[in-house]
A and B are shown apart, each in its own frame.
Chain A
Amino acid sequence: MLKVFALPDLGEGLTESEIVAWHVKPGDPVELNQHIADVETAKAVVELPSPFTGVVTELYQQPGVVVHVGEPIVSFEVEDASAIGDDAAGEGDATPVESQVTTDAAKPAVREAVLVGYGAAAERGGRPKRRPRPARVDPAASAEPASPAKRASSIAPDSSERRSEPVEVATAERPRSTPPVRALARDLGIELVTVTGTGPDGLITRDDVRAQASGEGQGAAHEQTAPAASVVSASPGERETRSPIKSLRKLTAAAMVQSAFTAPHVTEFLTVDVTPTIELLGTLKGDKAFDGVRINILTIIAKALCIAVRRNPSLNTRWDEAAGEIVQFNYVNLGIAAATPRGLIVPNIKDADALGFAEIAAELSALTEAARAGTTSQSALAGGTISITNIGVFGIDAGTPILNPGEAAILAMGAIRRLPWEYRGEIALRDVMTLSLSFDHRLVDGEQGSRFLADIGAILANPGRVLMMV
């Protein structure tokens, strides 16, 4: 028997979730409660246990897709209903996840399974549909001047939305009355909004309520009618796709807007011959001390930045507007911008300035791994003091990075290019990289920013210079 499993509400009142990964594929046998997928809701990434023992027949949704609650995501061939202990359920509404479909159902289950606790699904499929009524034209709607877009949307919604409007208006303010009168109305089952008050200032009196109670029923049933819903929205061959602004994107956007329009940014560029650093990396990779540790140019730059911060502390500060103070951090929590499948995050390495080279390398690996796996902890995302972003991995040379809010500087490392470059009075092919440094001009003057960037450049151009800096 084919069983289709629809996405349940995995939190409380969620309407959608994103499939992060499938751990099964069609043809795989699965056990009841076997972990078959990772699903991310607005609240958490959760493990989805298989609802059946059987064989996976089809995955309806790909990883990365946001699925509405109630939409089918996977189907199973289940040999024996008793294998899952729901034999007594048989067919019908009592078995929520069950709905039988034909195998060629590319759009499975027109009739959605009814799930108790599916508060969200009711929004889409759950509201009992009323037959559209012949509608009167709503004079207010046509009299209102509207932009084409507004007009289009104002006639599109179904009648159910329109119906609710008058009700909202009516309940906006509680009718004037007194507590005993309200109690009387409650006892008699009278809604005060239906009563016209005859007392001073329209106050509803005991007699008004009684009169309403005795006369109720004569004009009570005034049916609200719905406007025509005859316009069909045109959507074949979409030229635009609209997708909701999801949580991480929303957070990123808010942070960027806040940063860009609060801190006056200055960006400086420095192009450096990093060949000596590349050569140094080659030597280090052969060193036993770095067995099992991934080291690369980012490791060196991270270390160089910590050294440069010590010589130019104003780059490692925060503008505390509320307190009217400048906060000088005497430690470096080094943020590393990481592009993850679910968006940009900037986890930081705590007390990076106190770490040795190998420790920084290890921390960087752990940080990257966690970001990739989506297991970055909340504490790793908080408390950064300065950041690095690696745009070089995308083959980009330079940019004007926007500061991580609350930090004074961010360094962008560009791609390493093999370029003809002046070398010992001649032209040679060298490994060249451009560094871009943005800093908050409230906290950092051009001089300090420039010295900081020059320090990092000097280390990359000649790692031996570190001896004169520490």
Chain B
Amino acid sequence: MVETVSDFVQLLTPEGVRTPSPDFDQWVSDVDAPQLASLYEDMVVVRRIDTEATALQRQGELGLWPPLLGQEAAQIGSARTLRGDDFVFTSYRENAVAYCRGVDLTDIIRVWRGNAQSGWNPYDIGMAVPAIIIGAQTLHATGYAMGCQQDGVDSVSVAYFGDGATSEGDVNEALVFAAAFKAPVVFFCQNNHWAISEPVGLQAIRPLADRAPGFGVPSMRIDGNDILAVMAATRIALERARSGNGPTFIEAVTYRMGPHTTADDPTRYRDAAELEEWKAKDPILRVERLLDSLGLFTAEFQAGVKAKADAVAAELRHGCITLPDPEPLSVFDSVYTTPNATLDRQKAEYTAYLASFEARDGQNSDDVTDAASVTAASVNAVSVTAGGGRL
């Protein structure tokens, strides 16, 4: 395993020092102080969303939550460079990307509460609903990009996936197609070092970025905890795609500081020392230091960011716990686009089943709603659990 600082592009050191890079500097020359402050705020806010959602899971308000702690720069830095007409295909951990795309806070947690099969309309914001199946979204992204080609537009499709996904057939197939058709797609791989409990070194003898050239896809290996490097690399890739020069593979080297999901205990498989090492490379801390060195990290600024983060957390919590339970029969909606006899019959049977409680307990309507909503809750819980099993 090759893993030293010199292996990747870094524009901002963990100490908050801006380091020159002839090839990359031009791509972030427009990032001025206000923009840097705004990037910082976004990272703090999504970290707050993460901790609030984790707390909500522990309080029984969410079935599950996949924290992105430590990957803020990789997600914010890349998502903030996209255009509105670009289209994003993510896995389940890209909640910061969703935040940047403008997904409503309540919509972000809707699925994790088991309240809905999906949280938003992908076409409204140019972001597909998260793929639970590892790596599947890279194929969707490549297909979408080929569609853009056919339409003759210069929109780009971006696939987000992790280090573990690179071992999946889907990702390799997507790379083959993207290269063969010169599709305008960006493969944004967040190498967070752990595929649940499997360290990246087990499945990648060489850096992941080295694989892409074999498919005919140029690649970059960047410090994923450096928001400037992430922005620069993403812009290079987007420009290449928009100008008809095909796909790019970006390996953003970052670290999942939290558990795989709220159901995971990383202390069982990784050393505390490794976590400490990465805490020193925190993506937010280095921007804080840079802002400080520029004299921008004032008490007033900090208070403003904190207020924003707290407000977002409060809004998230409020939206979560006031989310109405879904109607029991809504579980049959959105299964098929066309009528289906088997499903129709199941729905009729279930309707009759629910009605049997009303017939039984006509005098006690309270119990009826109780029983019905319990059933709905369990139906949804099952779908979340089944999905989670494949994470």
Contacts and interface: CB of A to CB of B under 8 A. Distances in A.
Interface of A: 5-13, 33, 43-49, 51, 84-86, 88-89, 93-97, 111, 114-119, 122, 125-129, 131, 186-189, 375, 377-379
A116 B268 contact: no
**Main SS at interface, chain B:** helix
28 contacts: A5-B59, A7-B60, A8-B59, A10-B58, A11-B262, A33-B51, A33-B55, A46-B58, A46-B262, A51-B61, A85-B318, A86-B318, A86-B321, A89-B321, A94-B322, A94-B324, A95-B321, A95-B322, A96-B61, A116-B115, A117-B61, A117-B380, A117-B381, A119-B384, A119-B385, A128-B375, A188-B341, A189-B342
Given A11-B263, A89-B321, A128-B375, A116 B58 contact: no
B123 interface: no
A419 to B, nearest CB: 45
B385 A12 contact: yes
A251 to B, nearest CB: 13
A462 B317 CA distance: 67
B271 interface: yes
Given A6-B60, A10-B58, A377 B318 contact: no
Interface residues of B, number: 54
B259 A44 contact: yes
A379 B371 CA distance: 47
A116 B325 contact: yes
Contacts of A189: 341-342, 344-345
Contact of B322 (A86, A114, A125, A129): A86
Interface string B42-70: 00000000011001011111111000000
Nearest to B61: A96
A379 B271 contact: yes
Given A128-B357, A377-B267, A119 B321 contact: no
B374 interface: yes
Given A94-B325, A189-B342, A189-B344, A117 B263 contact: no
Contacts of A85: 314, 317-318, 321
A353 to B, nearest CB: 22
Contact of A111 (B114, B322, B370, B380): B370
B62 A117 contact: yes
A10 B64 CA distance: 8
Closest 3 A-B residue pairs measured CB to CB? A8-B60, A44-B265, A117-B63
Contacts of B57: 8, 10
B268 to A, nearest CB: 5
**Main SS at interface, chain A:** loop
Interface string B349-391: 0000000010010000000011101110110111011001100
B322 A117 contact: no
Interface of B: 51-52, 55, 57-64, 113-115, 259, 261-265, 267-269, 271-272, 314, 317-318, 321-325, 341-342, 344-345, 357, 360, 369-371, 373-375, 377-378, 380-382, 384-385, 388-389
Given A10-B58, A12-B263, A114-B370, A126 B377 contact: yes
A85 B317 CA distance: 7
Contacts of A48: 58-59
Residue of B344, B374, B384 ringed by the most chain A CB atoms within 10 A: B374
Contact of B268 (A44, A86, A128): A44
Nearest to A126: B374
Contact of A378 (B114, B268, B322): B268
Contacts of A96: 60-61, 321
B275 to A, nearest CB: 11
Given A33-B55, A97-B59, A114 B317 contact: no
Contacts of A51: 59-61
Contact of A44 (B61, B264, B345): B264
B263 to A, nearest CB: 4
Contacts of B322: 86, 88-89, 94-95
B321 A117 contact: no
Given A117-B60, A375-B267, A131 B325 contact: no
Contacts of B113: 116-117
Contacts of A5: 59
